[in-house]
């Protein structure tokens, strides 16, 4: 083989005043140096590229881990809230069942069977909870309507004493208090007290009569609904008018001795469908 005599000559001067120096480098050695430099550069560039790729993967992994952690926390919080809601629904269902029994309402469904059952594989989902909540709301609305009606009825039921005093005559047959012998029917209670003592309505209602009426003298008649009326007789003063709505404990007049009376007292009657019933059934013991 013939030796390759080709080479490259590099001329340089270390300083401006120095002599020129010449270096001869064979072209094959120069190519080898350039080749090694190119390989080194590509190696460094590839390493930097791989490092950049790894950094991107690590960053994405960190982001995914953070997102997973947040999702786990949110899921745990949602599960805790759901468990708390289910516990409250179960307690509310128990209370609602007791209220339904107390009010005489027949429940349309056993709501409790749809919540709080089974283990992890049978947990109620959100649609079940929503359905149960709607059912409870409907049942509670029915119970509220019944209780509201009962409350109105309760407020309209005579209770307590119209005046503070002493019972001088009871309900039923009695001797004629005006002499002459014989007995007569007494449709209410006579409660004796001082002249001018305030007389109070014993329940909510509408005044249907207020004025003089035979032996009652000045009398107020109140209609409480449900077939119940009350009468307050022998008044010295009437403080209400026909058509007026009154509430329990509202002052409707004052004790007197008008009409067929021997002394100041309040004649108090309770009537059911206009038939006198014993007012003692409606009075609170110990008021007199």
**What DSSP string describes 193-258?**
--TT-EEE-SS-EEEEEEEE-GGG-EEEEEEEETTEEEEEEEEEEE---TT-EE-TT-EEEEEB--
End-to-end CA distance of the chain: 146
Q: pLDDT at position 119, please?
A: 45
Query: What are the domain boundaries of the chain?
Result: 87-155, 166-282
Residue whose C-alpha is closest to residue 140's, from 99, 80, 183: 99
- Which residues, including other chains, have CB under 8 Å from residue 22's CB and lie 6 or more apart? 9, 10, 11
Q: pLDDT at position 288, please?
A: 42
**Strand-strand pairing, 251-255 and 198-200:** antiparallel
Give strand pairing partners of 200. 251
Q: pLDDT at position 238, please?
A: 97
Asked whether the beta carbons of 269 and 188 are under 8 A apart, the reply is yes
Per-residue pLDDT of the chain (288 residues; tens, 9 = 90+): 444 556 666 665 666 666 666 677 676 777 777 788 888 888 888 888 888 888 888 888 888 888 888 888 887 877 777 777 677 677 666 766 766 666 566 655 555 555 544 444 445 566 677 677 777 777 777 777 766 666 667 778 898 899 999 998 888 787 766 666 667 788 899 999 999 999 999 999 999 999 999 999 999 999 998 889 999 999 999 999 999 999 999 999 999 999 989 899 999 999 989 999 999 888 764 444
**Strand-strand pairing, 245-246 and 251-255:** unpaired
Asked whether the beta carbons of 259 and 217 are under 8 A apart, the reply is yes
Is the CATH code 2.70.70.10 the one for domain 166-282?
yes
Q: pLDDT at position 132, please?
A: 72
Please give the model's pTM, rounded to 2 decimal places. 0.52
Cα separation values, 158 from 240, 269, 271, Å: 18, 10, 10
Q: pLDDT at position 121, please?
A: 44
Find the farthest-apart pair of alpha carbons in the chain and give their distance in angstroms, rounded: 173
Q: pLDDT at position 138, please?
A: 73
116: exposed, middle or buried (Cβ count in 10 Å: 0-12, 13-18, 19+):
middle
Q: Round the CA-based radius of gyration of the chain to a whole number and report it.
A: 51
Cα separation values, 25 from 20, 28, 31, 93, 155, Å: 16, 8, 10, 99, 121
Q: pLDDT at position 57, please?
A: 86
Q: Can you give 61-129 as a three-state secondary structure string?
A: HHHHHHHHHHHHHHHHHHHHHHHHHHHHHHHHHHHHHHHHHHHCCCCCCCHHHHCCCCCHHHCCCHHHH
């Amino acid at each position: 083989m013939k030796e390759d005599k080709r080479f490259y000559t590099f001329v340089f001067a270390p300083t401006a005043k120095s002599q020129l120096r010449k270096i001869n480098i064979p072209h094959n050695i120069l190519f080898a140096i350039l080749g090694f430099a190119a390989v080194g550069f590509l190696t460094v560039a590839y390493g930097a590229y791989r490092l950049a790729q790894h950094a991107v993967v690590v960053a994405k992994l960190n982001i995914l881990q953070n997102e997973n952690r947040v999702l786990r926390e949110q899921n745990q919080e949602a599960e805790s809230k759901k468990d708390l809601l289910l516990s409250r629904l179960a307690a509310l269902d128990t209370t609602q069942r007791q209220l339904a029994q107390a009010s005489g309402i027949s429940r349309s469904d056993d709501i409790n069977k749809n919540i709080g059952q089974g283990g992890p594989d049978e947990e109620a989902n959100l649609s079940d909870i929503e359905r149960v909540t709607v059912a409870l709301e409907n049942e509670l609305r029915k119970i509220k309507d019944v209780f509201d009606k009962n409350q109105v009825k309760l407020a309209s039921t005579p209770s307590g004493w119209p005046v503070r005093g002493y019972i001088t005559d009871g309900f039923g047959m009695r001797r004629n208090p005006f002499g002459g012998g014989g007995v007569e029917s007494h449709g209410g209670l006579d409660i004796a007290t001082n002249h001018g003592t305030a007389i109070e309505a014993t329940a909510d209602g509408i005044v249907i009569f207020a004025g003089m009426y035979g032996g009652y003298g000045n009398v107020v008649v109140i209609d409480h609904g449900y077939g119940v009326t009350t009468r307050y007789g022998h008044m010295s003063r009437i403080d209400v008018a026909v058509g007026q709505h009154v509430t329990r404990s509202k002052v409707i007049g004052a004790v007197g001795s008008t009409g067929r009376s021997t002394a100041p007292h309040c004649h108090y009657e309770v009537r059911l469908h206009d038939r006198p019933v014993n007012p003692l059934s409606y009075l609170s013991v110990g008021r007199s």
